[in-house]
Structures are given as structure tokens and as C-alpha cells.
Amino acid sequence: MQPALLAEDLCYSYGSVRAVDGISFHVDPGEILGFLGPNGAGKSTTIKMLTGQLEPDSGKVTLLGKSMSRDDPELQARIGVCFEEKNLYINMTARENLDFFAGLFGIRHPDTLNLLEKVGLADRADERVSRYSKGLKQRLMMARALINAPDILFLDEPTDGLDPVSSRTLRGIIREQARRGAAVLLTTHDMWEADELSDRVAFISEGSIHAIDTPDALKIRYGSRSVRIRLSTAGGTREEVVPLGSTEAAERISLLAASPDLMTIHTEEATLEAVFIEITGKELGI
Amino acid sequence: MSGFRSPVVIWLIIMPFAITLLLQLVFTTLLSPRPRLAVLDMGSSTVTEELRLAEELDMTVAGTGQELSELVEFGAADMGVTLQEDFDSLVRSGSRPALELTVRPAGAPSSRAIILLIIMDILRQLDGSVPPLEVRVETRMSGEGPSLRARLVPAVVLMVLIVAGIFVPSFLLIGEKEKGTITALLVTPARLSEVLASKAVLGFLLTVGLCMAMLALNGALSHNNGLPLILTVVAGALVCSCVGLIYGCLAPDAKTLYTMVKSLNILLAGPIAFYLVSGIPRWVAMVFPTYWFIDPLYRITLEGAGLNSIAGSLAATLLLGMALLFPVRLLSRRMLGH
């Protein structure tokens, strides 16, 4: 299967600062790739190169089998971008925003109301965007990115700072787009969200990809599983965490499990965040 | 650009019209050397035609007594004259018909005196008698050559050309940059050149429209100079739109843009001083790029220059406009890189 998006050895520098340093990856149709990294890791610069906003210093971007070019309207017509920055026309209504962008894509009769319904904005379609909350603006941003039913969807921190309801709505839409066959590149620093949504994740730090695989594979490869056992004592309770993977561990767990003081016993998996720290040596904080 | 307090609205719409109004008030109403007369002719007197031909005054024909009163009352005429039916026959027969005059107390006495003298002169001719004197009105203006008003009208048009022509495209572009919407536009099939062109075209059309309105409102547009003026304004607006795009690409935000416009527009408008203040060598004005459309504008409006004599300047302006497209392209690419 030909990948929808193929990045090969991308490099970009802002002056003397190397922002992206030899990044390579691909995203298949219908796949969600989580692009994870802290702020300043090079995620946004990579997206800019992938969407034609920046020309790479070196390397190559291939979208849908064609070399990426800012001056290729046919290719641009097949991608959708949801920016982290809320760059909407705030003096227009939601409907006007979508109609305007539909016009840029050459869509004559856009079904804007249906799209607004999908993101939960149908009842506020004719309200000026300047009156929208951050969450509503983000929903409209997502609707705008979908106006052309894109084959490749670039999502830059789509749920950052949103309330749980808005986040859940947007996550549902992202899954739906992948089911439709769109390749989704999801940039986030929310590990839980990446774990929840992504088929594969790429860890990016200091302009390089340090690891790329399915979340489960990364957790198994780099994380350590353990069993947390809670026992009652004369003065209260005590907890013991036993790392799995050795004969001694199995014996210890058996021993504790047979104890009359046993209260609870849970298996624990490594989190994606712990794996990220393990691999990159960096925190994912803001 | 929303709101009447927007600097764009103030600079583009309000300022030129306010200056035009001021010019009209100062030079037409307050300092007008020609008295204005309103005539209500109840019959078909030859006096009306004679008054119309009189070079020393401006005449308006009123259709009704009410209209005549209003013309005088609201200051559009210094005096009103009503000529009754068969006025000429009555004069010739020596019946001494009444000459009804309508005056406004606040009107200029000198204008009323001139009008009365001219009327009496015409009546004597009608009567067949030899007038005892010949009325000559000579207007004394300061200096030589075109009046200050005539010299100021092109300056107002140039203000619109330079300020609006530059401000609109640059302000629109900066707005897109500040709101980040330019990024959203550029991930659609719309190309950067199309986005820039849309800003330039809007500024260009608005500027041309406003300039023509200014020329028409100030009475500087006639069928003789219409085409050369339109071509000059079009060429000037083209150059200014390109400069506007350069400003828009260079300035990161509106604050910087205002500073750039305020400081650099003084340089662009420099050649105007050459026409308002005599004694400055022409080569000084020619150093400024804007000279090449400012000069034809002045020559058309003040000297009645035709298309042939301004063709060279127009060609230079168009070449300048095309040459400016290169820095626009270069700077717009650089703008996206950051």
C-alpha cells in the first residue's frame, strides 16, 4: 500500500538553530499517527513543511504519491489542516467562515450546516465567531479542516486546553475520519490522548524522531510491567510493587497472594509518558 | 477594518472628504471672487440670457419663488432677482416695472453691489440708452500662476493615492498575518500570489474610486482631461498598491506598519512640495519615485496637459510598478519563511 504521507530525511533551520534534523516517517491511509513531543521539539515546523508552508532545507515530502509543493492546488485541495492557533475570521459567522473556505477549495454547494452539526455548532451557525469560547472556536477549526473531506488530515494540538465534552467530540471526529480512510497526523503532547487515538506514535525531541511504533509495542519494549499488592498490617496498610519478568518475582507474588493480609492486587503497565521519558530523557511538560 | 474609528476609515474616507469640504468652504464660499446670482424668470426675458453670459458672476436659474428663496437663504446665491412676465416689453415701453431682489443679510455686500451694477448695465442696454459706465470686475489673487486651491486639489488626490493606495493592501495583509488567517489560506488551493493580489486589487480599486471622486467633487475632472487623469490615477494606484504590499510583507504587526506609513509616506509625498513651493529645482522632485505620477497629475490639472505630453511619465510609472513586483515576490517568500 502506498503511504498517504511520506517524509524523508526532513531538515529545517531557523537561522543557526536546527529545528528539524533528519525526520523520516510515513502515514498510511486510514491510520492515525500520533506525533508526540514537548513544545519546541520541532512538531509544528514539521507540519509546516508537510503542508507546504515551509520549504525544507533538505529532504522530501510526498503526499498521495506526489511531491509536495505549495504551488500545487490539486494537492492542497486534498489536505486539511487544523491549527493550534485559532486563526478564524472572527468577524464572520461560523457558516460564513466555512462557506468562504469552501469557495477556496472550489466547492460550489458546501454542506456547511451538516458539518457544523457534526461538531455541535449547528445552533450557533449564524453567530459571529468573536462571541465563541475557545472550545467552540476549536470545533469550528476542526469543521474547517474537514470542509474538503481531505485525504490527509493534519491536526496540531486539536484538543489542547479544551473542556472534556469538546475534547470527546473532537476525538470522535478524528476516529471517524480515519475510518473514512483519511490519513491523520495528530500532533499532541497529551500522552493519554495519543495512546487513546493513535495507531502508531512517533516520539520527537530536539528535532529528531527517537522512536516510532504502536503504543503497545513501545510500552512492551521500553516500559516495565509490575504488580502492585496491598496488604493490611497492625497499624494500617502497606503496598509492595513487584516488577514482572523474573522467577523471583513470580515466587514473591505467589507468596504475597497467599497471605491472609492480602487486600488488593493489580497489574500495572508502563504509561506512554514513562516510555517517552525513558527514550528521550525529557519530560513532556508544557 | 471594522468600525468608524478604524484608522483606515479615517485616513481613507473621512480625511479626503473633510479636506475637500474644507477647500470648498474656504475657496468657494468664503473667498470666492465671483458673486453668485439666482434668477427667477417669470417670462422669457433677454436679461436672463445676458446675465448668464456675464463673466463677472455665476448665475443659477430658479424654477419657483420658493427655490429662489432657498438658494439665497442657504447661501448658494448672494442675491436673488425676480423678473416678472413681459419684463423686457415693460422696460422698453418705459413702464418702470418692479425689479424684485431677494437678499440675505449675512451675504457679502461687495457681491450684492457688483450684481446690482451688472443688472443696471444690462437694463440700460435693454432700454436702448448708453450706459454711463462699463463694469469690469478684476479679481486680485496673491502670486502668479494657478490659485492655491487649484494647486491643493492634486495634493488631496495624491494624499488619497499615497495613503489609501499603500494603507489598504498593507493593512489587509497585516491583518491576515496578525490573526494567522494567512496560514489558513495558504493550506488551501489559494496561492500566495493570489492572496497578495486580492489585497492589492481591493486597495487599487478603492484608491482609484476615491481619487476620481475627489477630482470630481473638486471640479477638476472634465471631458478634456478625463482620460489622462484616469490613466495617471490608475498608474499611480498600481505603484502605491505594490508599495503597500511591500510594507505589508515587511511589517510584522499593525503598530510597525503605522510607524512605517507615517515615516516613509513623508518621503513618498515629497515631490508635492515642489508644486506647492516655488523655487525648488525639478531634479530634486525627480529623485522620488512618486514624482513620475505626481508630475502628470499636476500638469493635467493645472496646465491642461494632454495624453501625449504625459505619456513618458506614465510609461515610467508603469515600469516602476512592474519593477516593484520583484521585491514583492522576494519579500512575500521571506515573510512566509518566518
A182-205 per-position pLDDT tens digit: 999 999 878 888 888 999 999 998
Nearest to B336 among A53, A90, A106 (CB): A53
Could you tell me which residues are beta bridge partners of residue A155? A82, A186
A79-82/A66-67 β-pairing: unpaired
Q: Using the beta-carbon criterion (under 8 Å), do B180 and A79 form an inter-chain contact?
A: no
Of the residues A70, A92, A99, A140, the best mutation for testing chain B's interface (the one with the most B CB atoms within 10 Å of its CB) is: A70
Chain A: closest CA distance from residue B177 (Å): 10
Q: Using the beta-carbon criterion (under 8 Å), do A85 and B180 form an inter-chain contact?
A: yes
What's the rounded Cα separation, in Å, for the pair B218 and B129?
Answer: 42
* pLDDT of residue A24 exceeding 90: yes
Could you tell me which residues are beta bridge partners of residue A5? A27, A63
Q: Which residue of B has its CA nearest to A80?
A: B187
Asked if B170 contacts B257 with a C-beta cutoff of 8 angstroms, the reply is: yes
* Helix count and strand count (H, E) for chain B: 16, 4
Least confident of A142-151, A172-181, B139-148, B150-159: B139-148
Tell me whether residue A103 is exposed, middle or buried, using C-beta atoms within 10 angstroms of its C-beta: 0 to 12, 13 to 18, 19 or more.
Answer: middle
Chain A residues whose CB is inside 8 A of the B180 CB are 83, 85-87
Whether chain B has a CB inside 8 Å of the CB on A85: the answer is yes
Q: Using the beta-carbon criterion (under 8 Å), do B2 and A76 form an inter-chain contact?
A: no
Chain A residues whose CB is inside 8 A of the B336 CB are 53-54
Sheet holding B58-61: strands in order across?
B58-61, B36-41, B79-83, B100-103
Chain A residues whose CB is inside 8 A of the B189 CB are 73-74, 76-77, 104-106
What mean pLDDT comes out for the span B132-144?
Answer: 55
Instruction: Sketch the domain layout of chain B as residue ranges.
Output: 31-127, 145-337
Asked if A132 contacts A124 with a C-beta cutoff of 8 angstroms, the reply is: yes
Q: Give, rounded to a whole angstrom, the gap between the first and last alpha carbons of chain B.
A: 25
Tell me whether residue B136 is exposed, middle or buried, using C-beta atoms within 10 angstroms of its C-beta: 0 to 12, 13 to 18, 19 or more.
Answer: exposed
Q: Which residue of A has its CA nearest to B1?
A: A91
* DSSP class of B130: P
Residue A257's H or E segment, with its range, is helix A247-257
Which pLDDT belongs to residue B283?
79
Locus of grid cell 506525533: A35
Which pLDDT belongs to residue A21?
92
What mean pLDDT comes out for the span A17-30?
Answer: 94
Nearest to B337 among A54, A85, A105 (CB): A54
Chain B residues whose CB is inside 8 A of the A104 CB are 185, 188-190
Asked if B16 contacts B159 with a C-beta cutoff of 8 angstroms, the reply is: yes
Of the residues A53, A66, A92, A138, the best mutation for testing chain B's interface (the one with the most B CB atoms within 10 Å of its CB) is: A53
Q: Using the beta-carbon criterion (under 8 Å), do A70 and B184 form an inter-chain contact?
A: no
Is residue B1 very low, low, confident or very high in pLDDT (cuts 50, 70, 90)?
very low
Q: Using the beta-carbon criterion (under 8 Å), do A77 and B189 form an inter-chain contact?
A: yes
Q: Using the beta-carbon criterion (under 8 Å), do B188 and A76 form an inter-chain contact?
A: yes
Nearest to A53 among B179, B181, B186 (CB): B186
Of the residues B188, B196, B333, the best mutation for testing chain A's interface (the one with the most A CB atoms within 10 Å of its CB) is: B188
CATH number assigned to the domain with residue range B31-127, chosen from the 4 options 3.40.50.300, 1.20.1090.10, 3.40.50.10490, 3.40.190.10: 3.40.190.10
Chain A residues whose CB is inside 8 A of the B190 CB are 73, 104
> Which 3-state string (H, E, C) describes B49-105?
HHHHHCCCCEEEECCCHHHHHHHHHCCCCCEEEEECCCHHHHHHCCCCCCCEEEECC
B180-194 per-position pLDDT tens digit: 899 899 889 988 899
Counted across chains A and B, CB pairs separated by less than 8 A come out at 55
Residue B41's H or E segment, with its range, is strand B36-41
A132-178 per-position pLDDT tens digit: 998 899 999 999 999 999 999 999 988 887 888 888 889 999 999 99
Nearest to A83 among B2, B184, B189 (CB): B184
Strand ranges for chain A from DSSP E:
5-14, 17-27, 32-36, 58-63, 66-67, 79-82, 152-156, 183-188, 200-205, 208-213, 226-232, 237-243, 262-268
What's the rounded Cα separation, in Å, for the pair B229 and B338?
Answer: 41
% pLDDT > 90, chain A: 48
Whether chain B has a CB inside 8 Å of the CB on A90: the answer is yes
Q: Which one has a higher pLDDT value, B289 or B178?
A: B178
Nearest to A106 among B181, B189, B336 (CB): B189
What's the rounded Cα separation, in Å, for the pair A217 and B177?
Answer: 42
Chain B residues whose CB is inside 8 A of the A91 CB are 2
Least confident of A120-134, B30-44, B154-168: B30-44
